[in-house]
Amino acid sequence: MNNKFSKAVIKRLISSLITLFLLISLLFILIRISPGNPTQKFISPELSPEIAKKVAEDFNLNDPLPEQYVSFVTNLIRGDLGISYNYRMPVIFVVWEFLSFTLVIAAISFLVQIIASYYLAVYSVQKQNKTTDRLISNLSLIFYSTPSFVIGVILIYLFAVQIDLFPTSGFVSLDYDSLNFFEKILDKIHHLILPLITLSITGIALFYRYLRDNLEDIYQQTFIMQLRANGLNENTILRKHVIPNAIGPLISVAGIELGILLSGTLITEVIFSLPGMGRLTIDSILTRDYPLIIGCTFAAGLLMILTNFFADLLKLKIDKRLLRGNVI
Amino acid sequence: MKFKLKIWQLISALWLLIILLQFNRLIELAVLWIKYFLLCFNDFGVAISLLDFKLLDSLLALIFFIVIPLLLISYRRRIKFLNYKLNFSNGVIIILLITFLMAPIITSENPDFQKNLSVTKHLTPLSKVKVLHLKIEDNYESTLLNKFLIYKREIIREVFDESIIYADSMGEMAPDKIIYYQKNIMKELPVEKLIENNGIPLITTKTFLLGTDEFGRNIFTRLVYSLRISLLVGTGAVLISFLLGITMGFIAGYKGGLIDTVFNRFAELFLAFPVIYLVVLILALFSSSLIAVVIILGISGWMSLFKIVRGEVASLKQKDYIQTAKLLGIKTNRILFKEILPVIIAPVIVNLIFQFSNVILAESALSYLGLGAGDSYPSWGAMIQSGQEYITKAWWMIIFPGGCLVVTLFTANYFGRRINKFFNPRLDK
């Protein structure tokens, strides 16, 4: 069993590595076939010609294509992504600084999504086909099809402009430095409430739909009838038998949801002008900071590959059937 | 409710509404048609060279307006959906399609038209302004061509129009001059400069149904035209995804082996990537134009279709009737199109509808981020973005485009779910 498990893990590790390799190749091809000289994508036009020449040599930009490719791959693997034009720092430090914020907010939002959708789904399946259930169901479809930026802007209009309850944008107040420790935390929470709602609402709707459909599916099955015939009360059936069966398929949805979440943070950070990787990406594009653009894209791809890998491992851990079959 | 509305009732109501509200516009377009027709007989070469997109659009809109009801009436027994029950998604789809086809009839303005910013900036919905119509001095010969050109200029509005002035209110009447106010500044104009109608200078009132934006552009007109952009981008991108997904899925599923593995790996790569980052990267490296947006969104959406087609083809390949067809010597293309495609069409259609809503969402998100088709076309996302800057004083700049977007996406999702239930009745418990 253990042997099988480690085999499956290694298999997924190799497949993730191949995907990573393909991602790097895709980036290289995209940079090469895009119009314009590739040197200008690594060297700021403001640099003096001598330094530009030196950077070009450092990045092997004058070598033939295959060697450039090799050095591109090795540079990326070593984490050397060049120097950002705007920040005048190695790209990897800039990305890391902004990435941490995105990771934190994405993780909080993920938790919020799971908890809220879980309770909503369980509540609405208990009230099956009653008005509240229908209301929540229809609302979830509406929220699912509402773009996050529309939700964000409407939230700003309602809660920041009409009733001055939350700030419209930013991460900290102007007088942040004069606050004590608890006030600092409160200030940050105060700033993060609207972005978190914006980021989570689509995910809540998505999870809710899946979970509710799953729960309903399981309620239709015969073993539930049998349990009822045995005289178990509804609460025990729900907690002991329905929910454990419904949670399993949710993990693969969670893997997909992480991709949506990452795109969602991009837009949410732009709406509320928060210091995260999404806004960094957009800013770097609008200012044509090519090393930073490539760095951000690479980081996002890497993050996705990693999370998918761990989601796969989790699935393996929970669903032992996957070990038996040859299913990837 | 006992009385259920049918789809044909909605369509006829919409037609009546257009005739009632835009009767003048219809007449104008008809006259334009006749003039163009005469010009065609007179000088065919010039007429063809004049035919640009806007003219064609206006001419076609009138044809659609006349031909579609005739077709529907003459084939009313064959077309079953006319007698379907009307519900929210059906109704919205029909309204969207009619708006898409007949934008020039529904609104007579150019979406980028701006004039007298001091008067028209940030007007609330349903606000009224006065319009002064000036005489256009034309010293041209009165040939058929010039007459047509002058008339066309009146009907198909350009971005600039010298012949009208917007004013907040009119001052007292003087015998030889007109007094009007623009933001409390009094201005005057000699009477003879205005077009006269029965001896009275022609001054009309114009209502901005949904208000104006920061450049004094009519939001209603912009909404109508950005609907076209959204639907066009959606259709184009879905078509590209469809072609890519179907071909690659067929090849991978039918051939199997190395090609299958390679394609599958590619699909995994694209799936494992937050697509918006990829799209943003490509738009940054290449130029961002409408065509580029369509192509990129199309390319970034083929994976789910590929997975469906590949899986279905791989399992169908083992079936007896496909094996028999193969042994009979039927060509591979024919097997794919005649035997396999009809079987897999249901999940493909459902997937395409969801894909359509995803693409519209992505396009609006891109234009919200300032990476879409640019300022050359009105777009709901871009309208919301510009509205966010004026969020404290102009709520209508956000609510209306946002509402349009939500309604469109909701309809697409809802319609997709219904189609899914229709194809898989087991889901409908």
Mean pLDDT of A120-144: 86
- Please tell me which residue, A286 or A142, carries the higher pLDDT value: A142
| pLDDT number for residue B373 | 66
- Please tell me which residue, B181 or B16, carries the higher pLDDT value: B16
| pLDDT number for residue A165 | 79
Residue among A154, A281, A304 whose CB faces B402 most closely:
A154
For residue B396, give the nearest of B124, B111, B114 by alpha carbon: B124
| A71 and chain B in contact, CB less than 8 A | no
Per-residue pLDDT of B33-86, as tens digits, reads 888 888 888 888 888 888 888 888 888 888 888 898 888 888 888 877 777 888
Give the whole-angstrom CA distance, residue A270 versus residue A275. Answer: 9
For residue B53, give the nearest of B7, B3, B98, B110 by alpha carbon: B110
| pLDDT number for residue A166 | 80
The DSSP element (H or E) to which B220 belongs, if any, is helix B219-255
Ramachandran angles phi, psi of A89, nearest 5°: -140, 160
Class of residue B401 by CB neighbours under 10 A (exposed 0-12, middle 13-18, buried 19+): buried
Rg, C-alpha atoms of chain A: 24
| pLDDT number for residue A327 | 44
| B262 and chain A in contact, CB less than 8 A | no
Of all residues in chain B, the percent with pLDDT exceeding 70 is 95
Q: What is the ipTM score, two decimals?
A: 0.81
Range of the domain at A8: 2-324
Give the whole-angstrom CA distance, residue B226 versus residue A236. Answer: 53
| B269 and chain A in contact, CB less than 8 A | yes
Rg, C-alpha atoms of chain B: 27
The lowest-confidence range among A48-62, B233-247, B363-377 is A48-62
Task: Work out the pLDDT band at A222, boundaries 50, 70, 90.
Answer: confident
Mean pLDDT of A178-185: 80
| pLDDT number for residue B206 | 83
Mean pLDDT of B383-401: 87
- For the cut 60, the answer to whether the pLDDT of residue A325 exceeds it is no
Tell me how many domains chain A contains.
1
In B, minimum Cα distance to A255 occurs at B272
| A90 and chain B in contact, CB less than 8 A | no
Per-residue pLDDT of A192-219, as tens digits, reads 888 999 889 988 988 888 888 888 888 8
B413 Cα to chain A: minimum distance (Å): 7
Residue among A35, A156, A301 whose CB faces B391 most closely:
A156
| pLDDT number for residue B138 | 66
The lowest-confidence range among B38-47, B221-230, B264-273, B389-398 is B264-273
Mean pLDDT of A299-311: 82
> Which of helix, strand or coil describes residue B189?
strand
> Which of helix, strand or coil describes residue B274?
coil
Q: Are the beta carbons of A259 and B273 separated by less than 8 Å?
A: yes
> Chain B contacts of A145, Cβ < 8 Å?
357, 406, 409-410, 412-414
Per-residue pLDDT of A247-270, as tens digits, reads 777 776 777 677 678 778 888 888
- Please tell me which residue, B247 or A244, carries the higher pLDDT value: B247
For residue B59, the tally of other CB atoms under 10 A from its CB is 18
Per-residue pLDDT of B195-217, as tens digits, reads 777 777 777 888 888 888 888 88
The rounded mean pLDDT for chain A is 80
| pLDDT number for residue B269 | 73
What is the sign of the dihedral through the CA atoms of B230, B236, B241 and B242?
positive
> Chain B contacts of A167, Cβ < 8 Å?
none
Give the whole-angstrom CA distance, residue A59 versus residue A67. Answer: 10
- For the cut 60, the answer to whether the pLDDT of residue B246 exceeds it is yes
Q: Are the beta carbons of B409 and A145 separated by less than 8 Å?
A: yes
The rounded mean pLDDT for chain B is 83
In B, minimum Cα distance to A41 occurs at B285
B116 touches B182 (CB < 8 A): yes
B260 touches B248 (CB < 8 A): no
A181 Cα to chain B: minimum distance (Å): 33
> Chain A contacts of B365, Cβ < 8 Å?
147, 149, 267
Q: Are the beta carbons of B365 and A281 separated by less than 8 Å?
A: no
For residue B119, give the nearest of B165, B150, B157 by alpha carbon: B165
In A, minimum Cα distance to B409 occurs at A145
Of all residues in chain A, the percent with pLDDT exceeding 70 is 88
Task: Work out the pLDDT band at A60, boundaries 50, 70, 90.
Answer: low
| pLDDT number for residue B281 | 77
| B301 and chain A in contact, CB less than 8 A | no
CATH number, domain with residue A8:
1.10.3720.10
- For the cut 50, the answer to whether the pLDDT of residue A328 exceeds it is no
DSSP letter string over A217-279?
A: HHHHSHHHHHHHHTT--HHHIIIIIIHHHHHTTHHHHHHHHHHHHHHHHHHHHHHTT-SSHHH
For residue B7, give the nearest of B68, B84, B76 by alpha carbon: B84
> Which of helix, strand or coil describes residue B207?
strand
The lowest-confidence range among A57-61, A317-321, B189-193, B371-375 is A57-61
| pLDDT number for residue A319 | 66
